[in-house]
């Protein structure tokens, strides 16, 4: 049996963790070398060849804020963002790769085996650029990224793994740096996403910032001649770390004291839970607006929400659950907020592994390439026989009966598109507009073909400009969309008449990656655009170079 165990990684904005499915079929989160189940997603560049990740890096940020990076997940897929350290520009993928490497190395030491194959999670509304950047972070870290899984879907997988019957779940996922709300239907052997929305720039950090600003203002009011602590990098970093501690404390206490200092002057500030909730009411309201959209989607689909799951560390704030109850009449259930996403990713890894094992056995039975086998089309008797063979030969890799293995291999997860995708063309008024072929909330895989027409005779080349909506709201205006890739359909036949048809096909698959094909039907001239060619995402050569650099570093 050539298959490898597949681990699940929650690559979080503030904390990351890793999980695997043990021999009893249960997902287990692996502690890091410090003994913690989660690792702060903070990177400290101590020197050119020594990188510190995690708790020590977070502590070092007080003294070396200019050499420390946190919240990098918010910038994944943004070609404009970089961090300059020692004259070198670090991209988000490279920094995230160090976090992945730390998490994986610690876990490998604990389980006593190399970890290579992984499922990595990301926010549900991540676009193509962000997803490809996440894959590249894994590749730079030397990992074989088998799947990019939406975080709320992952939480729903963890929740539904041992549940019987059908249910509709609303997942409210408020993490350290991002927010998702997702409506999911859970059935035995199948999970279907009905609706998803969110904001990659809304999370616990924004609540922390409000606290930090409040503490700073209180200090200024008490010591107006001492200056603003936010103007001092070290004092600012201390404020940021202190704000997170205050927020966590207010989840259990009605008030929390905190010291603020600058230029040798120190002041004690007390923040009450009521003050905190007033300071951040507008942030919570943003999450409620997104939640309202999901609840409306449930009403439109005529489905009843059976469970509200609260996921993500910031969902622990008491007024989150209280407001959801008051606003929508939904009593939220806190579901393993810090670890559910990693556990669901590990279960998805087991699903992929089971599929690998069964396909491998079918390949032997039918003398086919295992990679070409679609389990949905295989005769049930062949499927049962292959599952029995895989179960018998699995050894310590997985302890499942043939029936369990077959059910796991054939489990279905259906996602929806979080954004709309289209192509730029002229409308009837000769204005450049975006014509969307795949729409937000459309079930995946989605494939749509539309026909466009040449504006002039004798056209020999056409630029295909692929766009992605900036938000869930679809607009034909160019500034409401962003370019994700482009290419030229060249060498069209001579004397092509005006109004000649050009067929454009968009195919968006389950993990959110996109393929675009443009064809001139007469000559069958064709242009294929692949996700790996997206503008602004690291090229294969850049990924290889970044991986080579990482291999020479010491990461602790």
**Among all chains, which residue has been given the structure tokens 């909330």?**
441
List pLDDT tens digits, range 415-440.
888 889 999 999 989 999 999 999 99
Burial of 49 (0-12, 13-18, 19+ CB in 10 A): exposed
**CA–CA dist 32, 253 (Å, integer):** 29
Query: Using one digit for the tens of pLDDT, what is the confidence trace for 306-348?
Result: 999 999 989 999 999 999 999 999 999 888 888 999 999 999 9
The percentage of residues in the chain with a pLDDT greater than 90, rounded to a whole number, is 53
pLDDT-derived band at 413 (thresholds 50, 70, 90) equals confident
Helices (H), 367-514: 380-393, 402-409
Tokens of 395: 């050894």
Return the pLDDT at 344: 94
DSSP state of 555: E
> Minimal CA–CA distance to 250: which of 307, 310, 343, 318?
318
The mean-pLDDT minimum among 112-126, 201-215, 499-513 falls in 499-513
* pLDDT at residue number 186: 87
- Whether 513 has a pLDDT exceeding 50, the answer reads yes
pLDDT reported for residue 2: 52
Tokens linked to 264: 């040798």
**Does the pLDDT at position 512 exceed 80?**
no
**64-98: b or e for each residue (b if 16 or more CB lie within 10 Å)?**
bbebbbbbbbbbbbeeeeebebeeeebbbbbbbbb
pLDDT band at 206 (very low <50, low <70, confident <90, very high): very high
- Tell me how crowded residue 171 is: count the other CB atoms within 10 A of its CB: 29
In this predicted structure, what is the pLDDT of residue 495? 87
Q: What is the DSSP letter of 195?
A: E
Three-state secondary-structure class, residue 125: coil
Residue 89 token pair: 């520009």
Tell me the C-alpha distance between 205 and 195, whole Å. Answer: 25
For residue 32, what pLDDT is reported?
95
> For residue 389, what pLDDT is reported?
87
**Selection from 128, 125, 176, 133 nearest residue 151 by Cα:** 125
Q: Determine the 3-state secondary structure of 170 from DSSP.
A: strand
- As a whole number of angstroms, the distance between CA 105 and CA 541 comes to 25
Q: Range with the lowest mean pLDDT among 34-38, 114-118, 406-410?
A: 406-410
Please write the tens of the pLDDT for every residue from 57-67: 998 887 888 89
Question: Can you tell me the mean pLDDT for 347-356?
Answer: 91
Q: Most confidently modeled of 68-77, 389-398, 537-546? A: 68-77
Neighbours of 230 (CB within 10 A): 18
Sorted by where each starts, the structural domains of the chain and their CATH numbers stand as 6-151+540-555 (3.30.420.40), 204-279 (3.90.640.10), 351-413 (no CATH), 421-533 (2.60.34.10)
pLDDT score at 49: 82
- Residue 75 pLDDT grade (very low, low, confident, very high; cuts 50, 70, 90): very high
Map residue 436 onto helix, strand or coil: strand
Please give the pLDDT value at position 1.
46
Determine the average pLDDT of the residues in 164-176: 89
Instruction: At 462, list the tokens.
Output: 């056409």
| Nearest alpha-carbon partner for 178 in 121, 129, 99, 252 | 121
Q: How many residues does the chain have?
A: 556
Q: What percent of the chain has pLDDT over 70?
A: 97
Q: Which residues contact 304 (CB under 8 A, 6 or more apart)?
A: 168, 298
The pTM of this model reads 0.89
Alpha-carbon torsion (303, 330, 151, 127), positive or negative: positive
| Cβ pair 230, 58 in contact under 8 A | no
- 3-class state of residue 110 by DSSP: helix
Q: What angle do CA 506, 511, 512 make, to 5 degrees?
A: 40
Give pLDDT, residue 363: 87
Q: How far apart are CA 184 and CA 195, in angstroms?
A: 7
| Mean pLDDT of the region 69-96 | 92
Higher pLDDT, 32 or 2: 32
pLDDT above 80: residue 33: yes
**pLDDT for the residue numbered 222:** 87
pLDDT digits (tens, 9 = 90+) for 449-487: 999 999 999 899 999 999 999 877 899 999 999 888 889
Task: Quickly state the pLDDT bin for 3 (edges 50, 70, 90).
Answer: low
Residue 421 CA from chain centroid, whole number: 18
Alpha-carbon gap, residue 148 to 100, rounded angstroms = 14
Q: At what angle do helices 340-366 and 402-409 cross, to 10 degrees?
A: 110
| Mode of pairing for the β-strands spanning 167-174 and 307-311 | parallel
Task: Specify whether the CB–CB gap between 194 and 297 falls below 8 A.
Answer: yes
| Cβ contact 121:348 at 8 Å | no
């Amino acid at each position: 049996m050539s298959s490898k165990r597949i681990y699940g990684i929650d690559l979080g904005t503030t904390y990351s963790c890793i999980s695997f499915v043990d021999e009893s079929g249960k997902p287990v989160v692996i502690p890091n070398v410090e003994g913690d189940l989660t690792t702060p997603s903070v990177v400290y560049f101590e020197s050119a060849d020594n990188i510190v990740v995690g708790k020590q890096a977070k502590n070092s940020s007080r003294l070396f804020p200019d050499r420390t990076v946190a919240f990098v997940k918010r910038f994944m897929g943004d070609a404009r963002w970089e961090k300059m350290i020692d004259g070198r520009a670090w991209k988000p993928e490279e920094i995230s790769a160090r976090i992945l490497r730390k998490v994986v190395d610690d876990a490998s030491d604990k389980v006593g085996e190399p970890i290579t194959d992984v499922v990595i999670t990301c926010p549900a509304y991540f676009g193509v650029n962000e997803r490809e950047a996440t894959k590249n972070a894994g590749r730079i870290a030397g990992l074989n990224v088998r799947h990019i899984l939406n975080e709320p879907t992952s939480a729903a997988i963890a929740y539904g793994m041992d549940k019987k019957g059908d249910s509709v779940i609303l997942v409210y996922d408020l993490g350290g740096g991002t927010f998702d709300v997702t409506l999911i239907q859970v059935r035995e052997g199948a999970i279907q996403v009905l609706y998803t929305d969110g904001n990659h720039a809304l999370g616990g950090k924004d609540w922390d910032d409000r606290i930090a600003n409040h503490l700073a203002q209180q200090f200024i009011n008490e010591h107006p001649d001492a200056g603003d602590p936010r103007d001092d990098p070290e004092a600012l970093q201390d404020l940021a770390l202190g704000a997170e501690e205050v927020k966590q404390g207010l989840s259990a206490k009605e008030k929390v004291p905190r010291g603020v200092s600058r230029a040798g002057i120190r002041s004690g500030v007390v923040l009450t839970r009521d003050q905190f909730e007033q300071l951040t009411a507008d942030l919570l309201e943003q999450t409620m607006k997104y939640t309202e959209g999901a609840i409306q989607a449930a009403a439109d689909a005529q489905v009843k929400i059976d469970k509200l799951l609260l996921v993500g560390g910031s969902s622990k704030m008491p007024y989150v659950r209280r407001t959801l109850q008051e606003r929508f009449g939904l009593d939220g259930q806190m579901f393993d907020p810090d670890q559910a996403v990693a556990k669901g990713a590990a279960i998805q890894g087991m699903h992929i592994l089971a599929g690998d094992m069964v396909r491998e056995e079918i390949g032997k039975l039918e003398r086919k390439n295992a990679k070409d086998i679609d389990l949905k089309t295989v005769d049930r008797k062949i499927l049962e026989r292959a599952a029995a063979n895989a179960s018998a030969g699995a050894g310590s890799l997985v302890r499942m009966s043939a029936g369990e293995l077959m059910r796991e291999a054939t489990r279905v997860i259906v996602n929806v598109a979080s954004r709309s995708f289209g192509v730029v063309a002229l409308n009837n008024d000769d204005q450049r507009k975006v014509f969307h072929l795949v729409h937000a909330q459309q079930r995946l895989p989605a494939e749509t073909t539309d026909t466009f027409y040449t504006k002039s005779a004798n056209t020999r080349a056409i630029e295909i400009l692929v766009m992605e909506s900036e938000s869930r709201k679809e607009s034909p205006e160019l500034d409401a969309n962003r370019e994700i890739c482009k290419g030229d359909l060249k060498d069209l036949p001579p004397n092509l008449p005006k109004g000649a048809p050009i067929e454009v096909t968009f195919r968006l698959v389950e993990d959110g990656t996109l393929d675009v094909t443009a064809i001139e039907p007469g000559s069958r001239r064709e242009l294929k655009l692949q996700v790996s060619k997206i503008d602004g995402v690291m090229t294969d050569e850049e990924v290889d170079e970044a991986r080579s650099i990482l291999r020479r570093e010491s990461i602790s």
